Structures are given as structure tokens and as C-alpha cells.
Amino acid sequence: MPCIEPEEVIFLTNKWDLISNTKEDGDDADLQSKTGNQINNILKECWPECNTNRVFKISLKQVEKQIKTPFTMQFEKFRTMLDETMEENKHKRAEYYYRFVQKFAINATIKVSSRNYLHAMSADEQKKTLSRNQEIVRKLPTVLKQKKEEAKKYKEEVIGKLTEKLSGYLRSDIGRNEILNPSGSICLSCVRSSEFSQDVLNRINIGIHRWCKCEYVLVKTKEIESKMKELLSDVESQIHIIEKDITGFTRSIPEVSSTVFTQSACRINLGEYLESLTHPPFVGHLYTSEEKNPEEMYKEWLSSFNDEQIRNSFEKNFGIKYYKVIDRIFEVEIPQTIAGFDITINKLLDEHSDDKKKNRSFTHLNEVVENIYAKMNNFQEAAKI
């Protein structure tokens, strides 16, 4: 079973065919709406990270009978989201465990190799080397803070471009035709009147979801990963200087970017992030419209929101996931690496004059660590992490 984040949990609620969607006298909302709100409130209380876009209302009875209703369409949407969530997270547990072992191996390598390397120096050379690198470690948090601010500004740039591109697509003739008449679908004129409005809405929803998997979005996702590595390059170079100075080499220690920015870190699926665009106030009109004119329905749907709402949808969803990535990198992973160097250097300064007698035991420990590295590399290659 894949390991997933709390906000990625999917909730399935059943037997909605038994609940009436009519209003009683004096009520502001129908029974289905009230029940749905009660369920969301309970879930939010018991599961604070609950995303209401991942709560589905279904009827397995209708699914079994293959009846086309809003509840069976919700079931299909649930299956799609489940498949995507499983695919996105299938390697996450292995990556978590791999990162843990990798951190241990890196720290052990630095501690063992630094002692063996510094043994060849005089006491004065050792102290100068350690003091010089202690100063570099002291300055790194300031550099890291600056890079995090740059990463935040880049997020605004990415969301702005995504908003502009999606808005242009939705309002273009090509976008409208691809959404309303996707390849392989039946003609809207053949859809039953009772299902027409729901079918139009479903095509809009699928069309937005499909756009979020297009080549442009995939390229943007890769650009985010490249940008993160670019921002880390200055910090990475400073860390390599420290490694070189106190261990004598850097080649066996992975780059910082590959240590903290695993493949799953930026597997960002934008398809679910525009849910609000398929539920504007116009949806009520879609269900009550008596005219079978998809072009007019689509046009009115477009008029019910603006680019700022598209941007807000990206911001509330994609933006949150982006911040989780940069927080993990700039607030957890790299600071832990810096703290590890700080502790190691301080210990070495304390004991540098009395280390030589321990050389034999450290040499043996180094062989153990190298064996761990070999097994890690074999696992990384086999698991394609």
C-alpha cells in the first residue's frame, strides 16, 4: 500500500440515492446539501487535513445497475483520482526509507572520513581548517533564507503563467471545441435531455483535468524541479567546500539537491486543483436550462468567473503543495545538513589533538559505511529512485 500525505486521503460516502434533494418548507437548503455539509464538518473535525474535493458522494446500487447519475459520475471520478493518487505515491514509502538510510550514510561518512583525513595534518593545520569551515557553516543559514525567498517569488511566477495559459485555452475556440466535443465522445445532440446539463458540466470538468496533464504543464513541472536545484546550487557548492576541506573528497557524497529533492517531490498533479471552476454559481443554471445549446451554456459558464479565481484555485492547491516542497527543503533537509556539519566541526575542534590513537577503529568503521553505500546504490538502481 503506498504511503500518502494526510491531505491526499480520499473519503467515499455511499447510499446517496436514498437521500432526497428536495427542500422542506422553511429550509434554506435541500436534504442532500445539508447532509453533505454535516459530513464535511465531521470529517474536518476528525481529520483536519481533509480536502473536501476528495470527498465523494456515490451510490453503489446505481453503480451496479450502470445507471448514469451524478452519484455514478462521482464514482468514476473517485476511481480516476484513486488511480492517480496510487501512481503518484507508489514509490514514496521506499523514498522515505531510502532518504533515512542515505542521511545516516552521509553523516557517518563525514564523521569517519573527516577524522581519518585530519589525522594526516598537524594540530595547527587541523585547527585552521576546522575554524575556516566553521565560519562557512555560520553564514549558510543566511544564504539559505535568501534562496527560500527566491523560491517563493518563483511560485508566483509559475502560477501566473499557468493561470494565463489555462484562461487562454478555456476562452479559445480550440479549447471550447476540445472540451465540448472531445475525441471519442458521443455528440451532445445525442445525449438525453435529462442528462444533458450534467454531461456538459462533466465534459468541462474532464477538459480542465485533461489540460492539467498537457505538455505545457509537464514542462512547467520540470522547470520547477530545475529551479529548485538551481537555487540550491550556491548552498551545495559551499557544502562541497566543507566536505572537501574536512574529508578530502566529495565524490561519494550525493549532491544536496538529489538528497532533498526526490522524484516524488515534484510529481504535482494539477488536475484536481481547479475543482472550484466546475462549481461556480452557474452550475445551478446548467441543471435547470431547458435549451440544448452547449455553446451558450459554455459561454455563460465562462462568464461566471475570472482569471483571479483561476489563480486563487491554483494558489489554494498547487501553491500549498509547492510550499510543502520548499519548506521541506529549506526548513528541514538543508538546515539538518548544516546542523550536522556544525556539530561535527565542533566535536572535531574539541578532540583534534587526541585523535591519532583512534585511527584504526575509524578505518574499520569507514569500511562498514562504504559497504552500506554499496547496498544503497544497488537498491537505488533497482527501485529507480
Is a pLDDT exceeding 70 seen at residue 272? Answer: no
Going by pLDDT thresholds of 50, 70 and 90, the confidence category of residue 252 is very low
Separation between Cα atoms, residue 262 and residue 267, nearest integer Å: 10
Cell match 452547449: residue?
294
Non-local (6+) Cβ contacts of 57 within 8 A are: 13, 16, 32, 36, 70, 71, 74
Is a pLDDT exceeding 80 seen at residue 174? Answer: yes
Report DSSP letters for 271-318, one per residue.
GGGGGGGGSSTHHHHHHH--S--HHHHHHHHHHT--HHHHHHHHHHHH
Q: Which of 53-57, 115-119, 124-128, 259-263 has the highest mean pLDDT?
A: 53-57
Going by pLDDT thresholds of 50, 70 and 90, the confidence category of residue 59 is very high
Which residue, among 292, 305, 284, 359, has the nearest Cα to 113 in the 3D structure?
359
Which residue, among 142, 75, 171, has the nearest Cα to 334 in the 3D structure?
142
pLDDT at 13: 94
pLDDT at 260: 44
pLDDT at 58: 93
Helix (H, G, I), strand (E, B) or coil at 251: coil
Query: Residue 370: in which H helix or E strand, if any?
Result: helix 359-383
What is the model's pTM? Answer: 0.60
Is a pLDDT exceeding 90 seen at residue 316? Answer: no
pLDDT at 246: 77
